Amino acid sequence: MTVWSTREVTRLAGVTSRTLRHYDHIGLLRPTDIGAGGTRHYDRDQLLRLQHILVLRELGLGLPEIAEVVDGDTDVVETLRRHHRRLLAESDRLKELAATVARTIAEHEGGVPVGTTEMFDGFAGDPYAAEAVERWGDTAREAQERAAAWSPAEKRDFMVELQEVNEQFAELLRGGAQPGDPPVQAVVARHYAWMCRSWTPDREGYLCVGRMYVDDERFTANIDRTQPGLAVFLRDAIEVWAPANLA
């Protein structure tokens, strides 16, 4: 069996020996064995686990969340496929943003002016921010201010969790689950907890959000990209969960 020393792993993966020792200390990445003089060795399975950890870290997850994923009873290949799709989507957005910047540079150098419809291509802004304030008033404004103070990693984590929640709903929907089934209701509880990271809706507010997912075609189209019919399924699941759990 081929093994790699700590020094070799730090060179391959671009992490420090201190990071590896910390991962060992918290049980996230144990060495395969410890040789003479305390030298840690890692086999290929451990390298693959380290790769998985680093992918999740790049996506903005904290170490406790990473541990839940890599140690969970989940399909590793399917989990990696989801991460791969997210990375490709972010790659596409960054390419679009790079193209926007390139066009702007060309304009400053005497080239064709950038069209106003192209000026903000690739930016990850919230197109519903002003509308949310108009609809929800101070509640929406406070939520936006709270989110504006988040670090880039926190923002990524927020969006990654939403995608994971939607994928859980989609998997249940594909499996024939009904909105009131206990597994579906458990995911609604996670969805509500996710929402509470930015604002905490009461029963009527949460019901309103669920209905908006269906009544507003923009939200419907966005949610149904994960799975056709998901917006209606989510709304119906919220209609069951909110009255039973919120005042």
Q: Residue 172: what pLDDT?
A: 95
In whole numbers, what is the pLDDT of the chain averaged over residues?
A: 80
Residue predicted with more confidence, 103 or 35:
35
Q: How far apart are CA 177 and CA 10, in angstroms?
A: 46
Same domain, 94 and 162: no
Domain final position from 108, 124, 140: 124
Same domain, 162 and 206: yes
Backbone angles phi, psi at 31, to 5 degrees: -70, 155
**Confidence band, pLDDT 50/70/90 cuts, at residue 18:** confident
pLDDT, tens digit (0-9, with 9 covering 90-100), for 22-71 = 999 899 999 999 887 778 899 999 999 999 888 888 766 678 778 888 88
35: CATH: 1.10.1660.10
**Residue 64 to residues 46, 61, 226: CA-CA distances in angstroms?**
18, 8, 26
Same domain, 135 and 201: yes
CA nearest to 83, candidates 119, 60, 59: 59
Q: Residue 140: what pLDDT?
A: 58
Same domain, 226 and 135: yes
Q: Is the dihedral of CA 214, 89, 85, 50 positive or negative?
A: negative
Q: Are 191 and 233 in contact (CB under 8 A)?
A: no
Q: Residue 127: what pLDDT?
A: 47
Same domain, 14 and 65: yes
pLDDT, tens digit (0-9, with 9 covering 90-100), for 217-230 = 878 888 888 899 99
Same domain, 119 and 149: no
- Put the strands of the sheet holding 40-42 in their side by side order: 4-5, 40-42, 33-34
**Residue 206 to residues 9, 35, 201, 233: CA-CA distances in angstroms?**
48, 56, 5, 15
Q: How many domains does the chain have?
A: 3
Same domain, 19 and 84: no
Same domain, 163 and 224: yes
**Confidence band, pLDDT 50/70/90 cuts, at residue 168:** very high
Determine the structural domain holding residue 195 and report its residue range. 127-245
188: CATH: 1.10.490.50
Same domain, 136 and 223: yes
